[in-house]
Every structure is written in structure tokens, then in C-alpha cells.
A and B are shown apart, each in its own frame.
Chain A
Amino acid sequence: MNEPRRLEEFAVAAEAETLIEFRDVGVILGGQPILQGIDLNIRRGEFVCVIGPSGCGKTTALRLLAGLLRPSSGTVLYRGEALSGPRQNIAVVFQDYARALLPWRTAAGNVALALESLGVPAAERGDRARELLAKVGLAAHARRYPAEMSGGMQQRVQIARCLAQNPDVLLMDEPFGALDAMTRQSLQDEVLGIVAATGATVFFVTHDLEEAVYLGDRVIGLRPHPGRIGIEETVPLPRPRDQLTTREDPAFLRLRRALFDFTKSAKA
């Protein structure tokens, strides 16, 4: 079902809209250069995964896109305009889900927070929130508080809240890092499903090389101190991806090997 869509996108590739552009971006924090000379173009609908050892600045790059940080040099462009602050159609999923949710609101209430900031009229909010929670499989838990939910469920609430913004861009900062392997895999597939349905552009930061290859259209590897782009690989695997077959695909294994070698050399 998604195959023709992908082909269509390839056909239009030459004219595919560049949604996000990093132009010679540098970031200096506390006197230390965190990022340097980052040049990157991300097309609309692309799923970009960013990997690299600790300290390579991948979270910093994400925060630039989130509008939570301004570059010290260079420009970050969104739709051709310099990004000056957070945008309502760029949604962020934080790694520490417990801290990113309001503990005093139910799951529905947390999702409603996004709807409130969008100005959705009060009468519609309840239904919309429940719809969004249903998309992440939490319809039955709408009235639960975050403290009553598992880590995986809390992360899904965060995702649902992001979907409420009808985002063009999804920024995900190691969203599944704190979860167990099984939850991680099911959430990976859920994200792929959501992205396929909405056509959102994704900037996905992760430590997990296999996750990066499994999810992405492109994998960017950063070298640390200061953060620079060290490797850029297109992922030629077909969609939809499958936890078993995709991971056994020789192209998958080849890419994984290449990224592993890169990470080792980058840490050195």
C-alpha cells in the first residue's frame, strides 16, 4: 500500500521540497563548541535518524529544530525561513516522558493541553483527545494519570499529544531509550504506522544503531568534540518495514556494520 507512495516520492525527488535546512550551523555552549559546520537538507516526508556517541551534539541539533536553542553561527531554515523559536507544527517527543507529562492531568488531559494551545474549542477537545489516544492504542486509559501508567504507555501519551498538533515535523529525542526491548519494538512499528498515515517528516535521535536503520530513510552519524557530520547513509530497505524480515535483510546488516564501524572510530 505504501510502495506506490514511495515511488511517487522518488519520482518527484528532484523537485521534492526541502523542508529543513541546516546551513553551516555551529553551536557553542558554555564556551565549548558542541556543533560545528553542520550542513544538512531534509526533505518533506523523510525519516532521518541521527546517531553518534555521547557528546556528539545530536540532542543539541534536535533542540535547534525544536526552537529551544538558537545557533551560534549559521542558520536553521524551516520552509525556507530562519527558525526563530518553537513552531506549533513542529512537535517534540522528549526522552524523559515522566517529566514531560503533567502528573496532575489524566492522559486525555495531557493531550488536551496541546489542543488548548491550538485554540480548539472546549466542546471538541474531549472527543479529539480520545481520538488521538485511540491512534496510539490508549483509548481505554484516557482517564488514567501518568503515575498509573507504564513507561511505554506514558511515551505513547506524549506521542498522542504531539499528534494533536497536526505536526509537519516530528522531533524525537531517544524516545524509546528508557523502555524495555519488547515495548521498544512495538512502539517503533507504531511510529512507522503513524508516519506513514500522516506523511510527517521525522528527525529521530537514537543511540541504537539497529533502530536507526530499521526506522529511517537516511541515517546521519555525528562525530563528537565538536559535533560534525561523519557519515551519511541512505537506507535502501523497502517499506513497510518488518521486525523480523527487515532485520535479516543483507542490506540491513551491511548498513549496521558500517554504522558500527563508524561509531567505534568516532569514539576513539
Chain B
Amino acid sequence: MSGRRERGGGAAAKAVIVPAALLMLAELAMRLTGFKSDSVAPPSEILVAAFQALHDGSIARATGETLLSAFGGLAIGGLVGLIVGIVLGSVAILDRLFDFSIETIRPIPPIALMPIALMVFGFGARLEIAVVAFAAVWPVLILTRAAIAGIEPQLLEVARALRLGFGARVFKIVVPAILPRLFVALRLATGVAVIVAVTVEITVNPVGLGYAIMIAGQSLRPDLMLALLIWIGLVGWGLNFALQATERSLFGFAMPRARP
């Protein structure tokens, strides 16, 4: 099987070739033709802008604002989703009764609720936290509900056979059984939270990374704008990566079978 050794280093190299080549091409093309534009900038300038913004702390501050709102909303929405998900997952009757209502409220795009929050809270962090909270409820609710419903019935029978009290049953059987899937819900909800936070910032809220990117665009600074765009992508990717790594180290034994 001589293909095996090639797979590790070779695959990584092949993955990078095309984007690297395109970037170099763009750089050369823009430099050589003296191309000036309000919407694109050569990769080198983007890098310079990125370092500048990192250096003077503006990116750090904006990132902090965005993440504050994202995590704040995640905490609230996640908690609500967790509680409701546990209740619905445990009591089948309630689940069926509330299914219709949940399926009608869920499709409301979070950004549509943004004007309501704007009206109530005005501009600022609370506006974002409110909208993010609404968005974060759904992935947590649905996955928690599924996690509870998906507990191996035999485990619960074991609990009964051992005559475990309510507390012991919850902490020794239920919680460890659902924890891996709750973590997946957390990871997905984090992604949603960041995206929604940035969206609210781009649309109306004058704080955070979304606002920074809009300002960069309006000040005709394409280099900064693209640098911030890449940075937002990196933040999202980084959070996902960190959570996946934690997931694997904590729950390696319960690795999900299908990769998303």
C-alpha cells in the first residue's frame, strides 16, 4: 500500500496549492497593473492592515464586544433551550402537545426579531444578546430533546433495578448519557450565536466586528475590510475547532458516528 505515506503530507500540500497560487496571482496582478479599487486590495495590504489592527487593539476590542454578546445570548438561550428540551424530552405528552407551537415559532428568522429588541432596548449589547438568545434556543432545545429521548431504555431500567434515588439517577445515569450530545448542541449553538451577533452588528448595532467591517467598507478601506472578513472567519473556525478538540478529549469514547 504505497499510497498510505503519500496521504499525510501530500494531501495537505495539495490542499494548499490552489488557494496559495490564486493569492499569489492576485497579488502580482494587482501590483503589476497598479490596480486601485474601493472593494478589493492585494493580499499583502490585507496582511498589513490585519497586523495594524491587531497591534492597535481595535480588532481585540471589537472581537471582545462581539463575543460578549454572542456568549451572553448563548448563555440565556442555551439555558432556556436546555430546560425546555429536558422537559419535552422527558414528558412525551408535553412534547407532542407543544410540537405544533414550536414548529411555528422556530421558522421566524432571528433577524426579524431584531427590530422588536431594538424598540425595547435601543442600541447596544442588550439588543444583540436578546436576538442571539432567541436564535440559540432552537439548536439547544432540539438536540437536548433528542438526547433525552435517545437515552438507552436499558440504562433507565438498570437505574430502577438498582433502586437509585432521583438525584442519583439524574447525576449518575442521565447526565453522563446526554452530555456528549449536549456538547454538540453547544458547539452548533456557538456557531449560530457568533453569526447572529455579527449579523445584528452589520445591520444596525454600532458595536463589535460587524460594525467594524461596515465602517471599514464605508471609509473605503478595502484592505481592512477584507482583513476583518478573514478574521471573522478565523474566529468562527477557531471556536469550532477548540470546541471539537474539547469534545474529543472529554467524550472520545462517545464519538459521533457520522461526520457533519
Contacts and interface: CB of A to CB of B under 8 A. Distances in A.
A4 interface: no
Nearest to A31: B2
Interface of A: 30-31
Contacts of A30: 1-3
Contacts of B1: 30
Nearest to B3: A30
Nearest to A29: B1
Interface in B1-39: 1-3
Nearest to A32: B1
B51 to A, nearest CB: 48
B256 to A, nearest CB: 24
B47 to A, nearest CB: 44
Nearest to B2: A31
A31 B2 CA distance: 8
A61 B242 CA distance: 49
The 4 closest A-B pairs by CB, nearest first: A30-B1, A31-B2, A30-B2, A30-B3
A31 B1 CA distance: 7
4 contacts: A30-B1, A30-B2, A30-B3, A31-B2
Contacts of B3: 30
Contacts, number: 4
Nearest to B4: A30
B139 to A, nearest CB: 30
A30 B4 CA distance: 11
Interface of B: 1-3
A249 to B, nearest CB: 46
A30 B1 CA distance: 5
A30 B3 CA distance: 8
A162 B1 CA distance: 34
B141 to A, nearest CB: 32
B152 to A, nearest CB: 26
B4 to A, nearest CB: 10
A36 B248 CA distance: 47
A30 B6 CA distance: 14
Nearest to B1: A30
Contacts of A31: 2
A31 B4 CA distance: 13
A166 to B, nearest CB: 39
A30 B2 CA distance: 7
A141 to B, nearest CB: 31
B3 to A, nearest CB: 8
A96 B2 CA distance: 27
B61 to A, nearest CB: 54
B2 to A, nearest CB: 6
A87 B1 CA distance: 30
Contacts of B2: 30-31
A30 to B, nearest CB: 5
A101 to B, nearest CB: 23
A31 B5 CA distance: 14
A245 B52 CA distance: 91
B220 to A, nearest CB: 53
A62 B1 CA distance: 22
Nearest to A30: B1
B196 to A, nearest CB: 37
A129 to B, nearest CB: 35
A33 to B, nearest CB: 15
A146 B2 CA distance: 38
A29 to B, nearest CB: 10
A31 B3 CA distance: 11
A56 to B, nearest CB: 20
B208 to A, nearest CB: 47
A188 B3 CA distance: 40
B106 to A, nearest CB: 30
B1 to A, nearest CB: 5
A10 to B, nearest CB: 48
A30 B5 CA distance: 13
A129 B1 CA distance: 43
A55 to B, nearest CB: 15
A88 to B, nearest CB: 32
